[in-house]
Amino acid sequence: MGCKQFFSVLPLPFILMLLHLCFASSEVHATSGSIKGRVAARETKGPLIGVNVLLSGMRLGDATNEQGWFLIENVPVGNYTIQFSYIGYEPLIKTDIIVKSKRITFVDAELRMSAVEMGQVVVSGGYFVETEDKPTSVTNFSYEEIRRAPGSAGDVSRIIMGLPSIAKVNDQSNSLIVRGGSPIENAFFVDNIEIPNINHFPTQGTSGGPIGLVNVDFIRDVNFYTGGFSSIYGDKLSSIMEITFRDGNREEFDGQLDLNFAGFGGVAEGPLFSNKGSWLISIRRSFLDLLVKAVDTGTNVAPTFGDIQGKLAYELNPKHKLTLLGIWGDDHNDPDKETAEENDMIFFGNQDIVESTIGLNWRALWHNSGYSNTSLSYTSTKFKEDFFETGSADLIIKNRSFEQAFKFRNINYFRLNDRSSMEFGIEAKHLITDYDNFFAEYTGALGATVPTLTLDGKMTSNKFAGFFNYIAKPFNR
């Protein structure tokens, strides 16, 4: 059997896996990589010069330059802990820094100001929580923690399910019930851009779905607030998930092929505009339908889904940075009547959902006193669903919904002095919803008859918000 005939009988995921192994085996001889990143002040986001960056347990390190960058070269492949120390700032420790062969691992850090004290032993809790105010209801996850969490399959929401005060709706959905609230009252922000749902096959009107949409390879870290969160996050009552995407590689082109629970695909990244910026893109597709065709599983259909994600970052100058974010998901499920009967399904039909978000964020530094984040974004979700009762083949639900939102968001942070600072900003949303839905008459569990409902119309609404926080620290403790 020739090579062409051999690959023609293999499912596409296995071909991708073989190619991945082939490319990986060609680099076995390389045993070291590099660590590069930027260190900034947490309060003002400005670069810090001369920060000591050391690898724990090794005689390797560097000091940041005038733009806050550091570079540690010839680091053996492995898992490391990095220590950041600077006079006048609290020391910071970052764990689970994975160095790969012939690759540059990017690590960004933000240090918080503190009074210079001598002759004392300082115990820091920076291992686990890196948020500024550290309220009791916030949890921080790094990329590596998400990637290797047991049973999560790289899905951020499934890690969150195991936290205190969190309840899940069921095992088939990522819908979260936080502190007795509702899945409707959860908000997601990616790089200051609000996304209504971060799941494939999103449940309309809520924040849940069966499988995550966000590619874990894009994530730098995640902050999850379950209560007591700042007023800069409005319009939701239960929880806030703040996701930070990493920038692409500014030094060289990198690429990888993936085959995992979420599907198969790849990630590519590289420099942009003479290393002043970077680009990062991911393309994935599920392979369950391919396995169903290749292996007799007793059913002829399987849901299919895919997504494309990308981020462009460009620094106009050291104080101004633009980022363009895009996320697109495409979901399909269409079991027919014969399949429904064979698998004892109550309903059958078709389900086509397309969701997308695109947003531009501008970050500006105000000398050494603060910064501002301003974003413009557009999100949309289109539902096309038809469900029939298996026995009678009667139409039960027809859903033609198109939900859109145009959003403007501005956040400003200003440090008045060492003991006081403030946050303020505004937010505006223009919402457009277009429905053409039909819900057939049915009998409820208690025997009551619910009449037929038809919804056909277009609605628009506007939301405006303003917020202000004043943070005062009158004592050293």
The yes-or-no verdict on residue 433 having pLDDT over 70 is yes
The answer, as to whether pTM is greater than 0.85, is: no
Q: What is the DSSP string of 7-75?
A: HHTS-HHHHHHHHHHHHHHTTTT--EEEEEEEEEETTT--B-SS-EEEETTSS-EEE--TTSEEEEEEE
Strand locations in 367-419, DSSP E? 370-389, 395-417
Per-residue DSSP letter, 233: S
* Burial 144-181, CB ≥16 within 10 A → b, else e: bbbbebeebebbbbbbbbeeeebebeeeebbbbbbeeb
Which range scores top for mean pLDDT: 202-211, 284-293, 314-323, 340-349?
A: 314-323
List, for residues 234-271, the tens digit of each pLDDT value: 888 888 999 999 999 998 899 888 887 778 899 999 99
pLDDT at 269: 94
Q: Are strands 211-212 and 199-200 parallel, antiparallel or unpaired?
A: antiparallel
- Mean of the per-residue pLDDT values of the chain: 84
pLDDT digits over 355-405, tens only? Answer: 999 999 999 998 778 999 999 999 999 999 999 988 888 898 999 999 999
Q: Which residues pair with 420 in a beta bridge?
A: 417, 472
Q: Indicate if the pLDDT at residue 162 is higher than 80.
A: no
What's the maximum distance between 2 C-alpha atoms anywhere in the chain? 81
Q: What was the pLDDT predicted at 403?
A: 95
List, in sequence order, the alpha helices (H) in 295-365.
337-342
Identify the CA nearest to 262 among candidates 380, 158, 127.
158
User: Could you tell me which residues come within 8 angstroms of residue 1 by beta carbon, excluding any fewer than 6 positions away?
Assistant: none
Structure tokens at 120: 């004392």
Q: Please give the Cα distance from 314 to 321 (Å, whole number).
A: 6
